[in-house]
Amino acid sequence: MKKLLRLICRWLCGSQPEPTKPKVLLTYEKVVRMLKGYDDERFEMLVKNLGFEDSRVNTFDFKELKNYMTFTEKLAKEKNIEIKGVSFIKAIYTEETAPNEEFIGYENLLYTPTTIINGKEVQIDLLNSTRDNIVTFKEMLEKYGYKWRYNNRKNFKLKSDKSLQEKQEFKSMIMSSESDGGEESFVANYSHLAPPHD
């Protein structure tokens, strides 16, 4: 009888598939090898170059993350956009963006949904996309003067020869967009970082 009621409820409420054990779970052997690889190949180099131990752990509030995913599904359904995945993107907290002073200069993660466009997985701004026009993360970043170079190998070359004029133009554009509150994005963040340690 309980099984029948569950089936009826799923049919009436819009059935959600029963959760199953994820296929992407790792063994502790692999986890330890990956962590050790980071320790051996990245840790000392980063501490030496930065002068401090950067954040290694980003802890996101489970309810906030679940709400973000649920809202992503809702918006995607309303706009008829099929979500492929979620990209986690490394960034740095600046004086203007850090939730508190102790996080200034530490690495953090941004996250945004992806979809398939012309056969390629692309980060998108779901909030600014419409049913007829998918707006990419790259397009929104370019609007704010940031050149996203991670969409293919050709664009991946680090451009460290930016002129002073380009840097000043970027700064003035950001300052003018911040004066009106800035345009809302669908990129999320705000996790607890470690280090720094409490």
Reported as a single tens digit per residue, the pLDDT across 18-63 is 888 888 888 999 999 999 999 999 999 999 999 999 999 999 999 9
Q: Is residue 7 assigned to a domain?
A: no
Question: What per-residue confidence (pLDDT) applies to 10?
Answer: 62
Single-letter code of the amino acid located at 98: A
Render 124-169 in DSSP notation, one character per residue: B-TTT--SS-PPBHHHHHHHTT-----SSTGGGS------HHHHHH
Same domain? For 111 and 134 the reply is yes
Q: For residues 84 and 76, what is the distance between their CA atoms, to the nearest angstrom?
A: 11
Question: What per-residue confidence (pLDDT) applies to 176?
Answer: 53
Same domain? For 63 and 119 the reply is yes
Q: Is residue 5 assigned to a domain?
A: no
| Number of structural domains found in the chain | 2
Per-residue pLDDT 10s for the chain (198 aa) are: 566 556 565 655 666 678 888 888 889 999 999 999 999 999 999 999 999 999 999 999 999 999 999 999 999 999 999 999 999 999 999 999 999 999 999 999 999 999 999 999 999 999 999 999 999 999 999 999 998 877 655 555 554 444 455 555 555 554 555 555 567 766 666 666 556 655
Question: What per-residue confidence (pLDDT) applies to 12?
Answer: 58
Cβ neighbours of residue 54 closer than 8 Å, sequence gap 6 or more: 46, 47, 106, 107, 195
Same domain? For 50 and 63 the reply is no
Residue positions counted in the chain: 198
Residue with token string 């600046």? 94
Same domain? For 41 and 94 the reply is no
Same domain? For 138 and 43 the reply is no
Q: Is residue 6 assigned to a domain?
A: no
Render 11-55 in DSSP notation, one character per residue: HHH-PPPPP---TTPPPHHHHHHHHHHHIIIIIHHHHHHHSSPPP
Question: What per-residue confidence (pLDDT) applies to 160?
Answer: 43
Domain that holds residue 66: 57-194
Same domain? For 119 and 172 the reply is yes
Q: Is residue 141 assigned to a domain?
A: yes
Same domain? For 43 and 137 the reply is no
Residue 45 exposure: Cα atoms within 13 Å on the Cβ side:
6
Of 55, 70, 99, the residue that ends a domain is 55
- Cα–chain center distance at 185: 12
Same domain? For 64 and 41 the reply is no
Same domain? For 101 and 166 the reply is yes
H or E element at residue 171:
helix 164-179
Query: What count of other Cβ atoms lies within 10 Å of the Cβ of residue 116?
Result: 12
Q: For residues 148 and 154, what is the distance between their CA atoms, to the nearest angstrom?
A: 12
Q: Is residue 184 assigned to a domain?
A: yes
